[in-house]
């Protein structure tokens, strides 16, 4: 019996503590509880809706130590620290005394995917309320023992203190089952004015290990007896393995096994570089029949427009008949396929022990991944445990789930032995599911008053999520001798949407019509990439707003404000403009331009406005973001430095997408397979300065902020380039060549 | 068997001579900091210091390292006793996912060993071969500037190998 594999939930959770988490009593299904018993009451907030027991979120030991559980996975954005702050604040325990355990199908609630800027809203809100309610239960217990009213008691550092000085620690108060109660719809939250931990820039708990060589990633895992595997992927989508003589590879130094299952091919060796060498030999020994027919990379927009689509009008407003649009404007914007481009190729460790499979993975969803892997292995989900361990930043659905499936399939072939698999750079680049190409067509008219009288917006896009649920989403399952079919793509429902995310403008126009053309056929493998369709839709809307403002002869900031009713949105715009020094009369230095853009992510998460200064080299066409000033409102701020870090990162990452990035391919193969063929932003393109100004909203709900900056950053750069050159670029990326061609045109 | 000098100690290594240093550091010596990013020398996440210079360990076979001093991030300091550059990266919170950071730090350390007061342009140029995907660049730059100030004010000597 190997420790990590055969951990019995009951043993783990019972281990010496006074409180036993509900899962130990209710088994695996407990986390998927629906909370149906509270049907008559309003539902509790955040993920308490689906996992209502307080002890799904918090455990207090007899020694007073506190463990917080989240079903969300730390993706390098620092929310593990934020969760710890929230729990410490609401429970009134020292920050350092808490431990946070994340995404593990053996230990935590099922919170689905860690995506869509939902972690703070879902899990953060659940922890906030669970901690506040747990504190109230502890106080009530102390009141009972002290025979005092609860309001005669206060809490401090994990102790309940009576007005007469008597004290009881949480560990003394906690009793078996005390937190095994369903959450109430409302919680006795602390007054934000009294916060000492929430709202503070507490240093992240994961950074010390990351800057000193501590074990921080799944890539760093070393289990006893662990072997290393590498996969040989087909050269192109759909390629069939017609011949492969593995004999020579099997005799190479250190090679443990060659694993072949249909078109799935892998090799296992005792040491990692021996696995790499064997992989190269195996690839050379394999003969593939290629069948892929990829569209022409230069015609992707035409291809999308030419494919069958399912069309739906997602928003329509017919207000007062426009008094005859004075001026009409039309424009088409495009986005290419783009890569997540994780710096560390995806990696996983798996071990089969008896009939149990354990997979350590940097997946964004341990439960859906478990479901998919179990289906692939044709075993019940209860036989598979997925444990999240941090990986390199993923920015959406990269190779994480696929490599987890690779590891599981290989580990099944060598029972008992832990197997570590990491993809090679070219595998990550060629096989990860890309951010989908998109096309938007916009048409608007300006009334005699210089305001937008009518607005038409159409977007063509594939789905933005092919994430697992079923095995067919996993490459290994697609490549097996008995393969699983790729599931049919589905549009993601509004209000969050997929290709139509942020397609509905936040501005108020008297007449508006928004059409989503959902394109089911996917010429390239695609899935969720950070901010989904919002990146391109915000780029399109906010570019077009500038085009219209120019025709109207209006200042871009003033033009936006004149169409925006949302008060918080207006404040964010005003803050960014003010801190940038935006002025109607501004005139940038020669070859520089100023640009502005704004969005509220998904029209329901954080607000972000960005003002940019860009310099353009007219000789080379090279554009560089020089300065960006952002304002953000993400509701109640838990960790201001963490929020700033997210927005700074969004601006730089989006500058990279916007100025440099597109996946390339020929008629068969993906040809952008490393950092030379898929260039991204380097230090020579890093801005001189980025400022982030936060508008805090104490007591307001958390609004996810991990993806709010990408769309506005793209549009503000495009608008600044237009301001600098007088030329409007509508096809992403805004490369040096495109800018040069526009200048020369 | 060959002898490799890593972080001030000799290690007997049983690996094929064409094995890139990165795999020996991670596999044989169980050091975490140097990361596999591309295996092509394009991203910098595997960077370590060899005889005072920043080297891409993913494309450097161990046969070239006989008699040389290899320093990894672990050799600079620890979470409990951080080197100036580690302290600076903590104080600036200069990471998101952090996967690229160890390589950035080693390149920054090598720069500061030969130029204790680099300009912003010099730091940017030095890091030109390194990629970060989270967009943590502004913080990385601030952290290296801060390191220079920390080293200067404390007059701390570096521990990473001998100056060239």
pLDDT tens digit sequence for A151-193: 999 999 999 999 999 999 999 999 888 999 999 999 999 999 9
* Interface A:B, Cβ pairs < 8 A: 179
For the packed helices B84-91 and B101-114, what is the interaxial angle rounded to 10 degrees?
130
- Token pair 């969720």 is at which residue? A528
Indicate if the pLDDT at residue A42 is higher than 90.
no
Alpha carbon distance B129, A227 (integer Å): 32
Chain B: residue whose CA lies nearest to A395: B134
Within 181-240 of A, beta carbons closer than 8 Å to B belong to 201, 203-204, 206-217, 219-220, 222, 228
CB A390 within 8 A of CB B97: yes
Look at the alpha carbons of A409, B46, A217, A83 in this order and tell me if their dihedral is positive or negative: negative
Alpha carbon distance A358, A697 (integer Å): 42
On whether any CB of chain A is under 8 Å from the CB of B56, the answer is no
Contacts A217 to B, Cβ<8 Å: 32, 35, 99
CB A500 within 8 A of CB A436: no
**Which residue among B16, B32, B42 places its CB closest to the CB of A215?**
B32
Is domain B84-154 classified as CATH 3.10.20.30?
Answer: no
Letter string b/e over residues A705-741, b meaning 16 or more CB atoms within 10 A of that residue's CB: bbbbbbbbbbbbbbbbbbbbbeebbbebbbbbebbbe
Instruction: Specify the long-range contacts of residues A142-149, CB closer than 8 Å, at least 24 apart.
Output: A142/A168, A142/A173, A145/A173
With H, G, I as helix, E, B as strand and everything else as coil, classify residue A243.
strand
- CATH dotted code for B2-75: 3.10.20.30
Min Cα–Cα distance to chain B from A276, Å: 10
pLDDT in tens, A547-579: 999 999 999 999 999 999 999 999 999 999 999
pLDDT at res. A176: 82
Alpha carbon distance A405, A399 (integer Å): 10
CB contact under 8 A, A271 and B15: yes
CB A121 within 8 A of CB A605: yes
On whether any CB of chain A is under 8 Å from the CB of B31, the answer is yes
Measured from the Cβ of residue A505, the count of other Cβ atoms closer than 10 Å reads 23
- Beta strands (DSSP E) in A637-713 are 689-694
Indicate if the pLDDT at residue A689 is higher than 70.
yes
Please state which CATH class domain A218-291+340-428 belongs to: alpha beta
Alpha carbon distance A606, B126 (integer Å): 36
**Is B88 or A31 the better-scoring residue by pLDDT?**
B88
On whether any CB of chain A is under 8 Å from the CB of B111, the answer is no
On whether any CB of chain B is under 8 Å from the CB of A676, the answer is yes
Q: Which of B75, B133, B136, B150 should one mutate to test binding to chain A, selecting the residue with the greatest count of A CBs within 10 A?
A: B133
Min Cα–Cα distance to chain A from B13, Å: 13
Letter string b/e over residues A217-252, b meaning 16 or more CB atoms within 10 A of that residue's CB: bbbbbebeebbbbbbbbbbbbebebeebebeebeeb
- Name the token pair of B71: 């320093």
**Which residue among B27, B95, B124 places its CB closest to the CB of A207?**
B95
Element (H, E) at A261: strand A255-261
Mean pLDDT of chain A: 93
Residue B6 sits at φ, ψ, to 5 deg, of -130, 125
Local confidence band at A35 (pLDDT 50, 70, 90 cut-offs): very low
Alpha carbon distance B121, B109 (integer Å): 16
CB contact under 8 A, A683 and B32: no
Min Cα–Cα distance to chain B from A204, Å: 7
**H helices present in A414-484, as ranges:** 425-431, 475-479
**Which residue among A76, A345, A641 places its CB closest to the CB of B98?**
A76
Q: What is the rounded (10 degree) CA torsion for A615, A617, A620, A626?
A: -20
On whether any CB of chain A is under 8 Å from the CB of B146, the answer is no
Mean pLDDT of chain B: 94
DSSP characters for A658-670?
Answer: HHH----B-SSSB
**Which residue among A272, A641, A652 places its CB closest to the CB of B27?**
A272
Indicate if the pLDDT at residue A9 is higher than 90.
no
CB A255 within 8 A of CB A282: no
User: Cis (ω within 30 of 0) for the bond into A354?
Assistant: no
Measured from the Cβ of residue A191, the count of other Cβ atoms closer than 10 Å reads 8
CB contact under 8 A, B96 and A215: no
Alpha carbon distance B139, A649 (integer Å): 10
Indicate if the pLDDT at residue A62 is higher than 90.
yes
- CATH dotted code for A9-210: 3.30.365.10
pTM for the full model? Answer: 0.94
Local confidence band at A516 (pLDDT 50, 70, 90 cut-offs): very high
CB A477 within 8 A of CB A487: no
Ramachandran region, residue A305 (left: φ > 0; alpha: ψ -120 to 50; beta: rest):
alpha
pLDDT at res. A36: 41
In chain B, where the domains are located: 2-75, 84-154
- Beta strands (DSSP E) in A362-487 are 384-388, 419-422, 438-446, 452-461
Residue percentage of chain A with pLDDT more than 70 = 94
Fold of A549-745: Aldehyde Oxidoreductase; domain 4 (3.30.365)
In chain A, where the domains are located: 9-210, 218-291+340-428, 549-745
CB contact under 8 A, B35 and A344: yes
Contacts B73 to A, Cβ<8 Å: 211-213
Q: Which of A73, A119, A210 should one mutate to test binding to chain B, selecting the residue with the greatest count of B CBs within 10 A?
A: A210
CB contact under 8 A, A211 and B137: no
Distance spanning both ends of chain B, measured CA to CA: 27
- Average pLDDT rounded to a whole number, residues B55-67: 97
Local confidence band at A320 (pLDDT 50, 70, 90 cut-offs): confident
**H helices present in A255-390, as ranges:** 272-285, 300-306, 366-377
Indicate if the pLDDT at residue A18 is higher than 60.
no
CB contact under 8 A, B27 and A651: no
On whether any CB of chain A is under 8 Å from the CB of B14, the answer is no
Min Cα–Cα distance to chain B from A89, Å: 22
Distance spanning both ends of chain A, measured CA to CA: 71
Same fold: A9-210 with A218-291+340-428: yes
**Residue among A447, A572, A449, A461 nearest A506 (CA):** A572
pLDDT at res. B130: 98
On whether any CB of chain B is under 8 Å from the CB of A390, the answer is yes
Contacts A422 to B, Cβ<8 Å: 36
- Average pLDDT rounded to a whole number, residues A274-279: 98
Alpha carbon distance B97, A113 (integer Å): 18
CB A623 within 8 A of CB A659: yes
On whether any CB of chain B is under 8 Å from the CB of A399, the answer is no
On whether any CB of chain B is under 8 Å from the CB of A677, the answer is no
Within 59-98 of B, beta carbons closer than 8 Å to A belong to 72-74, 77-79, 82, 86, 89-90, 93-98
pLDDT at res. A292: 80
DSSP characters for A544-607?
Answer: HHHHHHHHHT--HHHHHHTT---HHHHHHHHHHHHHHT--TT--PPTTEEEEEEEEEGGGTS-E
Chain A: residue whose CA lies nearest to B100: A343
**Residue among B61, B48, B52 nearest B104 (CA):** B48
Alpha carbon distance A26, A30 (integer Å): 5
**What DSSP designation does A685 have?**
G
DSSP characters for A21-74?
Answer: -HHHHH-GGGGG---GGGTTSPPPSGGGGTS-BGGGTEEE-TTS-EEEEESS--
CB contact under 8 A, A652 and B131: no
Residue A660 sits at φ, ψ, to 5 deg, of -125, -25
- Name the token pair of A306: 């030419």
CB contact under 8 A, B39 and A424: yes
Alpha carbon distance B140, A648 (integer Å): 12
pLDDT at res. A281: 98
**Which residue among A201, A207, A342 places its CB closest to the CB of B98?**
A207
């Amino acid at each position: 019996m190997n420790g990590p594999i055969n951990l019995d939930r009951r043993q783990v959770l019972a281990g010496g503590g006074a409180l036993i988490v509900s899962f130990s009593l209710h088994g695996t299904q407990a986390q998927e509880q629906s909370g149906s018993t509270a049907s008559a009451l309003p539902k509790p907030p955040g993920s308490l809706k689906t996992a209502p027991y307080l002890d799904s979120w918090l455990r207090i030991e007899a020694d007073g130590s506190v463990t917080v559980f989240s079903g969300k996975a730390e993706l390098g954005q620092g929310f593990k620290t934020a969760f710890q702050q929230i729990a410490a604040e609401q429970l009134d325990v020292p920050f350092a005394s808490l431990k946070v355990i994340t995404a593990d199908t053996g230990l935590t609630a099922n919170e689905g995917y860690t995506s869509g800027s939902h972690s703070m809203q879902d899990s953060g809100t659940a922890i906030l309320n669970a901690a506040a309610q747990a504190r109230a239960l502890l106080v009530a217990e102390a009141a009972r023992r002290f025979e005092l009213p609860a309001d005669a008691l206060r809490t401090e550092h994990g102790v309940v203190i009576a007005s007469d000085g008597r004290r009881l620690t949480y560990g003394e108060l906690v009793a078996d089952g005390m937190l095994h109660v369903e959450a109430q719809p409302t919680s006795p939250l602390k007054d934000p004015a009294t916060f000492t931990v929430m709202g503070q820039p507490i240093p992240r708990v994961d950074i010390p290990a990351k800057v000193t060589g501590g074990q921080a990633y799944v890539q760093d895992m070393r289990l006893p007896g662990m072997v290393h595997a590498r996969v040989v992927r087909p050269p192109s989508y759909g390629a069939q393995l017609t011949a492969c003589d593995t004999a020579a590879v099997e005799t190479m130094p250190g090679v443990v096994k060659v694993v072949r299952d249909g078109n799935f091919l892998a090799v296992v060796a005792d040491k990692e570089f021996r696995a790499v060498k064997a992989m190269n030999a195996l690839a050379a020994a394999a003969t593939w029949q290629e069948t892929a027919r990829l569209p022409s990379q230069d015609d992707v927009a035409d291809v999308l427009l030419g494919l069958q689509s399912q069309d739906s009008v997602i928003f329509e407003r017919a207000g007062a008949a426009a008094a005859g649009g004075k001026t009409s404007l039309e424009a088409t914007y495009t986005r290419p396929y783009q890569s997540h481009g994780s710096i560390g190729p995806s990696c996983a460790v798996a071990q089969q022990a008896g009939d149990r499979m354990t997979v350590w993975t940097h997946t964004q969803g341990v439960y859906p991944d478990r479901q998919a892997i179990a289906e692939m292995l044709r075993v019940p989900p209860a036989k598979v445990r997925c444990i999240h361990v941090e990986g390199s930043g993923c920015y959406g659905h990269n190779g994480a789930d696929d490599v987890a499936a690779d590891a599981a399939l290989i580990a099944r072939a060598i029972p008992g032995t832990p197997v570590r698999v990491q993809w090679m750079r070219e595998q990550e680049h060629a096989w990860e599911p890309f951010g989908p190409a998109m096309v938007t067509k916009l048409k608007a008219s300006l009334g005699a008053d210089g305001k937008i009288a009518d607005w038409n917006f159409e977007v063509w896009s594939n789905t933005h999520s092919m994430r697992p649920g079923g095995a067919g989403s996993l490459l290994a399952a697609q490549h097996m001798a008995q393969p699983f079919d790729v599931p049919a793509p589905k549009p993601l429902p509004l209000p969050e949407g997929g290709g139509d995310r942020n397609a509905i403008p936040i501005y108020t126009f008297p007449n508006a019509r928004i059409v989503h053309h959902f394109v089911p056929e996917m010429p390239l493998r695609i899935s969720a990439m950070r901010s989904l369709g919002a990146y391109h839709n915000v780029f399109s809307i906010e570019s077009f707003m500038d085009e219209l403002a120019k025709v109207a002869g209006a200042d871009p900031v003033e033009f936006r404000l004149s169409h925006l009713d949302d008060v918080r949105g207006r404040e964010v715009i005003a803050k960014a403009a003010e801190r940038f020094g935006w002025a109607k009369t501004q005139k940038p230095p020669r070859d520089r331009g100023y640009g502005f853009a704004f969005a509220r992510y998904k029209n329901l998460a954080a607000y972000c406005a960005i003002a940019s200064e860009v310099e353009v080299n007219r000789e080379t066409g090279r554009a560089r973001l020089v300065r960006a000033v952002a304002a953000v409102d993400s509701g109640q701020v838990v960790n201001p430095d963490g929020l700033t870090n997210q927005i700074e990162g969004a601006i730089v990452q989006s500058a990279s997408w916007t100025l440099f990035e597109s996946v390339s391919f020929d008629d068969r193969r993906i040809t952008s397979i490393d950092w030379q063929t898929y260039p991204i932003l380097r230090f020579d393109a890093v801005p001189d300065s980025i400022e982030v100004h936060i508008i805090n909203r104490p007591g307001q709900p958390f609004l996810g902020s991990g993806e709010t900056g990408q769309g506005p950053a793209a549009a503000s750069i495009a608008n600044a380039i237009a301001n600098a050159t007088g030329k409007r670029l509508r096809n992403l990326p805004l490369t040096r060549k495109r800018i040069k061609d526009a200048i020369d045109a | 068997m060959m002898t490799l000098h890593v972080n001030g100690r000799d290690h007997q290594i049983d690996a094929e001579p064409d094995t890139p240093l990165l795999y020996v550091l991670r596999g044989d010596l169980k050091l975490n900091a140097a990361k596999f990013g591309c295996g092509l020398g394009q991203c910098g996440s595997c960077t370590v210091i060899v005889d005072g210079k920043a080297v891409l360990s993913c494309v450097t076979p161990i046969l070239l390292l006989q008699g040389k001093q290899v320093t990894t991030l672990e050799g600079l300091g620890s979470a409990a006793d951080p080197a100036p550059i580690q302290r600076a990266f903590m104080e600036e919170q200069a990471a998101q996912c952090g996967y690229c950071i160890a390589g950035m730090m080693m390149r920054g350390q090598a720069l500061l060993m030969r130029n204790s007061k680099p300009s912003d342009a010099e730091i940017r140029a030095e890091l030109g071969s390194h990629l970060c995907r989270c967009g943590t660049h502004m913080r990385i730059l601030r952290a290296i500037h801060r390191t220079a100030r920390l080293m200067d004010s404390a007059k701390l000597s570096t521990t990473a190998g001998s100056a060239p």
